[in-house]
């Protein structure tokens, strides 16, 4: 009876974290699409975006004596998102240039990329710890977190609504970009066959860089949303990173819509599961899901249609 009572609330919570996972998962899946490699340092892109967005938004919030409202709230959230996205993009750009590109020029074995990414991740996590202390950094919400409406028995508050809406907008934008634009066309071409894409006049190096940047924009904005609601810290990236990766695999790595679906499904599973099991083991659920998919259906829910929009 408890579960039934809680069902809608758990659903709403699951959707909220799931949409964040989806936003981060896209970064894994896009890079996997064009390079066939797991970007282990993507979680640090998320972390750096989170710090950037949080610091910018916190600065603005501190200028108000009360909780901002109306246009001011919208403005602050947008600034936080933009700064977070830019920091994420800058981090992803640097990562690509420093940790991946030199290896690609040498045509290094794939093991080398994984290791290099681990190095980048170590560097970023501990550098952030040095620059901004090793603790949780929080900010005050730039809006009043009241209940906006009810879904059956569940309350949907402003925070949840903001996250779900922003994530939804980003997902739609990305989907359109991949499916309809010229850049999307070249991303899909590189994902399917990089050499042939070159023959068609696609600048593969540029596409790879832009793919990293797009993943960074999304993860950075997602990082801000996360930091705004919870907190930011130098090692915050790890858990959401593993979960987002799980989401990407769940949907079918390389598959853009799969990552979105995988994120939402994982968020829901985790939310229901966290209620059924002990909350402190909630993080284990994602891992179990990962191992389970790998055993049962390693190509994910929608299959690894590499480079395909759907």
Taking the least distance from each CB to other proteins, the nearer of 1 and 199 is 199
- Contact stretch for other proteins (CB under 8 A) within 118-126, 210-218, 222-230, 259-267: 118-126
Interface residue with other proteins among 70, 105, 146, 149 (CB under 8 A) is 105
Token pair of 156 as six digits: 């949907």
User: Residue 89 to residues 8, 53, 215, 271, 309: CA-CA distances in angstroms?
Assistant: 35, 12, 7, 30, 22
CB of 169 to other proteins, least distance (A): 26
Taking the least distance from each CB to other proteins, the nearer of 133 and 169 is 133
- Contact stretch for other proteins (CB under 8 A) within 13-21, 99-107, 153-161, 217-225: 99-107
Taking the least distance from each CB to other proteins, the nearer of 115 and 154 is 115
Write out the binding residues for other proteins, residues 8-47 only, by CB under 8 A. 36-38, 40
Between CA 302 and CA 299 the distance in angstroms is 8
Binding mask 267-296 for other proteins (x = CB under 8 A): -------------xx-xx-xx--xx--xx-
Taking the least distance from each CB to other proteins, the nearer of 118 and 169 is 118
Find where tokens 């480079």 sit.
Answer: 307
181 contributes a contact to other proteins by CB under 8 A: no
Taking the least distance from each CB to other proteins, the nearer of 89 and 164 is 89
Please give, one letter per residue, the 3-state secondary structure of the chain: CHHHHHHHHHHHHHHHHHHHHHHHHHHHHHHHHHHCCCCCCHHHHHHHHHHHHHHHHHHHHCCCCCCCCCHHHHHHHHHHHHHHHHHHHHHHHHHHHHHHHHHHHHCCCHHHHHHHHHHHHHHHHHHHHHHHCCCCECCCCCCCCCEEEEECCEEEEHHHHHHHHHHHHHHHHHHHHHHHCHHHHHHHHHHHCHHHHHHCCCCHHHHHHHHHHHHHHHHHHHHHHHHHHCCECCCCCHHHHHHHHHHHHHHCCCCHHHHHHHHHHHHHHHHHHHHHCCHHHHHHHHHHHHHHHHHHCCCCCCCCCCCCCC
- Site size with other proteins, rule: CB under 8 A: 81
Taking the least distance from each CB to other proteins, the nearer of 26 and 167 is 26
Write out the binding residues for other proteins, residues 205-244 only, by CB under 8 A. 205, 208, 238-239, 242
Interface residue with other proteins among 102, 150, 176, 297 (CB under 8 A) is 102
Between CA 310 and CA 308 the distance in angstroms is 5
HSE-CB of 110 using CA atoms within 13 angstroms = 7
Taking the least distance from each CB to other proteins, the nearer of 133 and 173 is 133
Write out the binding residues for other proteins, residues 57-96 only, by CB under 8 A. none
- Contact stretch for other proteins (CB under 8 A) within 13-21, 64-72, 166-174, 204-212: 204-212
CB of 106 to other proteins, least distance (A): 5
Write out the binding residues for other proteins, residues 134-153 only, by CB under 8 A. 134-135, 137
CB of 11 to other proteins, least distance (A): 25
Interface residue with other proteins among 49, 53, 188, 272 (CB under 8 A) is 188
Taking the least distance from each CB to other proteins, the nearer of 142 and 300 is 300
């Amino acid at each position: 009876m408890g579960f039934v009572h809680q069902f809608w609330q758990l659903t709403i919570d699951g959707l909220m974290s799931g949409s964040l996972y989806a936003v981060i998962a896209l970064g894994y899946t896009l890079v996997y699409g064009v390079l066939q490699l797991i970007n282990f340092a993507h979680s640090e892109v998320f972390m750096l975006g989170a710090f950037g967005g949080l610091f910018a938004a916190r600065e603005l919030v501190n200028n108000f004596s009360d909780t901002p409202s109306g246009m001011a709230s919208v403005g602050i959230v947008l600034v936080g998102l933009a700064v977070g996205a830019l920091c994420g993009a800058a981090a992803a750009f640097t990562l690509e240039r420093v940790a991946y590109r030199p290896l690609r020029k040498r045509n290094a074995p794939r093991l080398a990329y994984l290791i290099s990414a681990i190095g980048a991740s170590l560097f970023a996590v501990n550098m952030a710890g040095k620059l901004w202390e090793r603790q949780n950094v929080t900010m005050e919400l730039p809006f009043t977190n009241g209940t906006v409406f009810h879904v059956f028995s569940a309350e949907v508050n402003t925070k949840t609504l903001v996250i779900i809406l922003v994530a939804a907008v980003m997902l739609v934008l990305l989907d359109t970009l991949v499916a309809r634009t010229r850049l999307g066309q070249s991303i899909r071409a590189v994902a399917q066959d990089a050499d042939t894409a070159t023959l068609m006049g696609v600048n593969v190096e540029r596409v790879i860089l832009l793919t990293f940047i797009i993943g960074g924009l999304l993860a950075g904005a997602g990082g801000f949303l996360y930091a705004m609601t919870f907190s930011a810290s130098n090692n915050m990236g790890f858990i959401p990173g593993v979960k987002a990766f799980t989401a990407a695999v769940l949907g079918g790595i390389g598959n853009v819509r799969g990552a979105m679906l995988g994120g939402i499904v994982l968020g829901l599973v985790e939310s229901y599961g966290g209620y059924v099991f002990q909350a402190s083991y909630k993080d284990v659920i994602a891992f179990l899901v990962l191992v389970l998919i790998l055993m049962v259906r390693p190509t994910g829910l929608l299959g690894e249609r590499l480079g395909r929009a759907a």
